[in-house]
Structure 1
Amino acid sequence: MKKLYNISFAILIISALLYSGCKKVLDKGPLTTYTGQLVFSDSTLAVEYLNSIYSNNLPTWAGNGGANSTIASASVGTLTEENQGSNIFVLGTVVSSSVTDIGTGNSATNNYGKIRALNDFISNLASSPIAIGTKNRFKAQALFWRAYRYFDLVRLYGGVPLVLTPLPVVGTAAKQAALLPRNTTTQTFNQIVADLDTAIMYLPGNWPAIDYGRITKGAAQAFLGRVLLTWASPQFNPTNDMSRWQVAYQASTDAITTLSSHGYGLYPKEDVTMWTTEGPGASGPANSEAVMVTEFNTDNSSSNTEDNNTYTASNIPKALGGGGANNPTWDEVQAFPMLDGKAPGASTKYPYDPVHFFDNRDPRFNQTIAYNGCLWPLEGNATNRLWTYYYFTNSSNTATKTTEPVGASSSGFYCRKAVDPAISATNLPYSGTDWQEIRYAEVILNQAEAAAMIGNSSTAYADLVAIRQRAGIEAGDGMYGLTAGLTGTDLAMAVLFERQIEFAYEGKRYWDLRRWKLLESTLNGKKRQGVTFLLQPSTTSGQANTDYLLNNRDAMAQASLDNVYTNYFSYVPMTVGAGSTLGELKYLDSQAITYQTADYFFGIPLATIQNDPNIQQNNTWGGSFDPLK
């Protein structure tokens, strides 16, 4: 068994290193055939193995950071108001075999395959002659990632089998040892918390510059805050046990204390530089917002193809060489507050006009949504403007064509958040923008939500004001547009709305609605909408306005985009298919969203149960396992 184990151990390390994907902290060194004993007798080789763990576990831009293969493959933004997408979740056709993240067979790339690698690392480290301080820091990082993997599983299914030591890999005994029952949901969360508590004990507040990107003490505390907030939320806490909200509040408060003492805080302004400012600074992170990051670079050599990402390329229009994906819906466009922080239609200072929908909005609107006629610097062109309108191509005004020369946006909009305007057309596939899995803003809003639920309204409001103040919303009476006097769940819902705006297109909205069990009440029965921006025809010829606007639109928009909309796009998009010839809303979904109640805890696939008959199915899917215990 020892020899077989050593072979598999070496293969695991080598394959992990060959396919790792981050820069600096995960720089790769060549390993050939090393035994576990040899690897863990040398701190340099142990670091290589630890780096491979980072490579195999760090979330990426794919699926907006989604670590879950099934959710990520659907693209988490399509599960909410943010984007349209037809998939089993919104169509209500999920069955017990749909979500396979728990694994349906042996694989080094599924959650349990990754957990096995982590357990191997932790187990071998115990007998290593490496100095105890170094060993503790190594172990702390591995424990963080084990907690990360189990959190992935528990929020999908409830309790899962807890495997905390390496299981045998071959033979009848190995098969019997793997036939584990599910631990309760409470036990699973307790183990996650225990792993994170140990990690927090030994992780540093900041790493040396060369190790930027490793998990810090503050990042682990912030993640613990996310875990405990989920544990306290209605999905897992239907009786609203206040003690859960209290520990969630304390975890985020502790994270804020640690992070602020090590140079973290809200980035001074909310624009694209909040994403493109990267790496270590003189005494902390160069970007105070970046609590937990996955690093990327622009190296496009054949040996480093996984060191970069295609996020920018995916988001920008096809006419500029991009993928034209991630098209915001009209629903999301309307959700952003006005400049005074009030909801559209509720502000007396800034009345909402659906024709000039872009006027006087929360500054985050223009950092997130790219719309017809907006200034959107791309590919080094600081004066680039986006045009997504349609125009008539005949004098009878019956035939229309898009002004986008290639692949028009399905909704009339694009997502511009974190899209680096400086990347050239040639380098579009090689974006180096880091993914920020946890931003400091999340830690603040995690604290705010828990504070609201335990009756600490003053802290909740202070946190909300801090987020809105940084965003650039007007102070007004000092409340930045917030409704005064909210408490408990009402105040928590204000936090949830703030999360919708602050974290738009960052993969957070679905998980927020799911843990609050609001998917059905928020989305069911709705068809997401887009806008057809249609050029108003002239009185004599459909071509006259078309040619004039095409030749003069950028200059006119620079002078007054409002006037361009008034004179050339003067429609009132209030209802779908209103009959106006000047433009209208359109349904992006062919059928209404239909989330299933059973989806709050997904079913265990039949193949998983066949592999391990001791695993019980969730009671929401006809089994006997209660995911609330």
Structure 2
Amino acid sequence: MKKKTILYSALLAFGLLSFSGCSDQFLKDMTPYDKYSPEQTFGSEVILDQYIQNIYYNYFRVSGMTPTQSYSLAGKYTDFTAYTEEKWGIQTKISSSNILEEAKDCDSYFGANLASNISNDPYSRIRYCNDVLEGIDKYGQTLSDGFVRKAKGQAYFLRAIQLFDLVRVYGGVPIVNTVLNAADREAAKAYNRESVEACIKQIISDLDDAAGLLPTRKEWGDAEYGRLTKEAALAYKSRVLLVFASPIFNKDWDNSGNQRWKDALKATQDAKTLLDNEGYGLYGATGKDWDEMFYKNDNKFCKEVIMVKMLAASTSGSDERSSWQKAIRLKSMGSNGAGFQVPQGMLDIFPMADGKPAVDENGNFVNGYDKFLFFKNRDPRFYYTFTFSGMKWGYDANADAVVWNYCWEDASENQYFANVGSSPAIVRKMSSPIASSANTYAADGTDVYEYRYAELLLNLAECYAATGDASTAIDVLGQVRARVGIPVGNNKYGLGSVSDKHEAIKACLRERQIELAYEGKRYWDIWRWMLYTDDASNNNTTCATLGLEPLNGTHRVGKYLKVKGSTTKEDPIASEVAAFDTPVDVNDEANLQANLEILAEFWTSHFEFKDTKTPVDNINNEQAEITWRENYYLSGLPENVLLMNPWLSQSTGWQDAYGAKGTFDARQ
């Protein structure tokens, strides 16, 4: 009986979704490939392209559905936002009440045990890529050269993405570059955990192959927008090598001459050169442009977007949508909640309008920053990342809608609310004023910008900083700030003249917090720089070296915006709110500062901050501090994997399936 090597499932979707597309030409009319022979599948351009489309689908179909707007890990939607400063809530890995070290506690991302049905797990997805590469060589003699190049290029790129995500979770893992027979257990024993260096070498090899085979975006054409491209392969190489050079895998990271940083710098420069030649770059020249970038180019090319997951503004069962608008909008705007609440510390991170910091190294407010009137005189991106009481935030049914987000108390301190959560500000970034509010934004088609040109520039700045060229790093950061309208002034966009390498790295990490806020990137920056902890015994002293406060021992803070001195069950300032006729319109740049001053007077007259009755970071309603343990940076292999593959060694810091200490250094 002929062994079947093609995809086993009858495929999960027939619709318009993948990592990158929902156009009529790109993920449509999916076919149950198990009814075809290998000769038919890999010998037909039509069927093989559908097969490849399904690989995209299996990689990215579960992504971008709720905050954050990023796929996070291929094949798995995991919201890491609450492990960062961007969102509160004590999660499993940052709870002081948890000590995770047993095999049963390890991350399950590696996948389920083999079964009669094929699950959508990492090594299954790698197998699909290997199927394409081997199937074309064996059965694809009649395929055109151009099609073969595109098919193989996509397969190499997708295989690289999956291996990289496995490395990000576990460190060194087995490298499988051939289609294995699942029944051959003896042959499987040849696949042991490889070093991180070997894994990265394989990933880079695949990305180089992909870049050599794939068309550019222009060569793909508009009908195929969203496919993986030559430009994306080189940009992804920058991302991979940046991680490899970072402290999580690089004990020599603080050496300006370290080869890994040099390799990352070269890869990023090469990617930038190609992208610049192909028409990519920073979008717009104002904060308003920056905001519009996220919704004005729906399902079509935006010069800043290197990798995109296009979503469909429909409620069809075959289309994939987002829940972002529903998560961030207020009930008064067609949603069903109080929006995406902002920890107080996030409001401090953004600089002032001239780019200078709002808070100094010691936590003191500087450069005119007012903790209560946090909205005065801020970076233009601030006003398009957050919204607050007295600010216009239009939506499809009311372009002039104004946010009011406050509470009041009676004499017994019973609280009453007007659309309020536990923060005076809520997230508005990536909101669309034209998204349909019908049925709580059920047809939200907000595209997911997985990789932006701004991120590539931030990679470039960090590489310059780490290799000792602090001045050039600051110049690159200045480009990111200049395009939203921050003036250069005599202080380099508020960044100053930085000559110290560590100060330059800190500036890069802070700019990533600002520019990429709520795009699913912050957790991975904290992770690769190991910013939760310092532990010299684990070769981790990055916080002390850079002069940063570890996240461990800190907590996120929420505040109510409360009406002063109220003692009634009825809204005591309803009439004043109704009469307030100068709400802040951030798009009215000419009058923005004047209207912010008027709003500040209204806030000062009517509001004060009030602590939440229960801490927003709590365990059993008591204040809790972030408590991340060193072994969490890289998970051990889960129990099911070790039991089925007993030749695989467990990571240090974790126990194997029988309780013995792991011996595999996953960071090596």
TM-score > 0.5, shorter chain as reference: yes
Q: Are positions 1:595 and 2:611 aligned together?
A: no
Q: Are positions 1:413 and 2:425 aligned together?
A: yes
Q: Is the 8 A contact 1:514 1:600 kept in 2?
A: yes
Equivalence map 1:435-514=2 (5 Å): 435-514=448-527
Match of 1:386 among 403, 412, 415: 403
Match of 2:291 among 272, 280, 284: 272
Q: Are positions 1:626 and 2:665 aligned together?
A: yes
**Structure 2 match to 1:212:** 225
- In 2, distance between residues paired with 1:470 and 1:110? 41
- In 2, distance between residues paired with 1:98 and 1:348? 41
- In 1, distance between residues paired with 2:412 and 2:599? 24
Aligned-pair identity (%): 31
In the alignment, structure 2 segments of 5+ residues that lack a partner are 534-548, 586-594, 619-623, 655-660
Superposed CA offset, 1:445-484 (max 9, x none): 1011011111223431221000011122222215000031
Letter in structure 2 aligned against 1:341: G
Q: Are positions 1:312 and 2:325 aligned together?
A: yes
**Structure 1 match to 2:370:** 353
Out of 615-624 and 15-24, give the one that drifted further: 15-24
In the alignment, structure 1 segments of 5+ residues that lack a partner are 578-583
SS of match in other structure, 2:442: helix
- In 2, distance between residues paired with 1:351 and 1:474? 17
SS of match in other structure, 1:37: helix
Q: 1:217 to 1:609 in 2, by over 3 A?
A: same
Residue 201 of structure 1, CA deviation: 0.9
- In 2, distance between residues paired with 1:28 and 1:555? 48
Equivalence map 1:162-561=2 (5 Å): 162-169=175-182, 171=183, 173-174=184-185, 176-177=187-188, 180-206=191-217, 207-240=220-253, 242-268=258-284, 269-270=286-287, 271-278=290-297, 285=301, 287-302=302-317, 304-306=318-320, 308-324=321-337, 325-345=339-359, 350-392=367-409, 394=410, 396=411, 398-404=413-419, 408-426=420-438, 428-520=441-533, 521-537=549-565, 545-553=572-580, 560-561=598-599
Residue 90 of structure 1, CA deviation: 1.6
Q: 1:175 to 1:425 in 2, by over 3 A?
A: farther
SS of match in other structure, 2:451: strand
Superposed CA offset, 1:465-523 (max 9, x none): 00011122222215000031333232111100000011100111111011011123431
Letter in structure 2 aligned against 1:564: F
Q: 1:350 to 1:586 in 2, by over 3 A?
A: farther
Q: Are positions 1:90 and 2:94 aligned together?
A: yes
SS of match in other structure, 1:437: strand
- In 2, distance between residues paired with 1:429 and 1:149? 30
Q: 1:356 to 1:412 in 2, by over 3 A?
A: closer
Q: Are positions 1:26 and 2:37 aligned together?
A: no
Q: Is the 8 A contact 1:315 1:415 kept in 2?
A: yes
Q: Is the 8 A contact 1:205 1:258 kept in 2?
A: no
- In 1, distance between residues paired with 2:336 and 2:635? 32
- In 2, distance between residues paired with 1:309 and 1:253? 34
Q: 1:222 to 1:597 in 2, by over 3 A?
A: same
- In 1, distance between residues paired with 2:326 and 2:531? 33
- In 1, distance between residues paired with 2:124 and 2:581? 54
**Structure 1 match to 2:658:** none
SS of match in other structure, 1:255: helix
Q: Are positions 1:131 and 2:144 aligned together?
A: yes
Q: 1:311 to 1:178 in 2, by over 3 A?
A: farther
Residue 70 of structure 1, CA deviation: 10
Letter in structure 2 aligned against 1:101: Y
Superposed CA offset, 1:84-103 (max 9, x none): 12211221534443311112
SS of match in other structure, 1:498: helix
- In 2, distance between residues paired with 1:50 and 1:245? 34
Residue 108 of structure 1, CA deviation: 2.9
SS of match in other structure, 1:391: strand
**Structure 2 match to 1:61:** 64
Q: Are positions 1:112 and 2:123 aligned together?
A: yes
**Structure 2 match to 1:100:** 108
Number of paired residues? 601
Q: Is the 8 A contact 1:339 1:350 kept in 2?
A: no
Superposed CA offset, 1:118-150 (max 9, x none): 111111011212122321221011110100001
